[in-house]
Amino acid sequence: MELINLIIQKSDRYALVTINRPEKLNALNTSTIQELHTVLQELVDDKEVRVVVLTGAGHKAFVAGADIAEFASFGVEEGMNLASKGQELLFDFIANYPKPVIAAVNGYALGGGLELAMACHMRIASNNAKLGLPEVTLGLIPGYGGTQRLAQLVGKGKALEMILTASMISADEALSWGLVNKVTSQEELLDMAIEVAAAMAKNSSSALAAAIRAVNAGYAFEKDGLKKEIEEFGKCFGTPDFVEGTAAFLEKRKPNFS
């Protein structure tokens, strides 16, 4: 497969997958989601790879969100399909991946970018990282698992605070909340992620997969929540606030919600 939006590097029992759209702050579009799914599916069968490290190209962003221009004209059914397909192809796929996936979060991780990091099994952030779910400023809600995974990681109160205020938090705040596992300098971020990957890779691959399945089983109730998220995300596309929110974003102005 010819890769357009990704760079893959393999080393000693781990693979480094870099989302390579720095000019778009590595924003997720449908083709990038499909590429990530395809690459990760191939890595499942690669016996030389026991751990995956996922990061974003450049120094500004891990993933700064979804590509809003791609869905600004969507209606309710298209919105629901966007969320459902994205969860199936990538976010749920990573959460249930049989090999550990570590997110190396450099810079902004917003919207779909934070949802991608939360789907990973572990998050290591650079000290300049900014994390948030700003979807309500677009007349939307998180649609790639954010309403469920954020609450699981930081608790209901903190999750609602982040989602309802659309505010960003720093790497240190994210660490204190339990949203990320470790914080380091931007220069040392990949080294630390690779060090953790190497420690994991020394262990039994079958046991790693079993541990992921066992931990995930404790949160199996999320499936109903994810379905509700898809439904509510899709309904947002039928509201005037969505039209105003996305138009304001694309026109680089503040939204004026009625």
Supply the residues annotated as catalytic: 115, 135
Residue 208 φ/ψ, nearest 5 degrees: -60, -45
∠ at Cα 112 (61, 235), nearest 5°?
Answer: 150
Cα gap 58→48, rounded to integer Å: 27
Long-range contacts of 202-210 (CB under 8 A, 24+ apart): 205/50, 205/99, 208/50, 208/98, 208/99, 208/100, 209/98, 209/99
Cα gap 151→145, rounded to integer Å: 10
| Crossing angle for the helix pair 112-119 and 146-154, to the nearest 10 degrees | 60
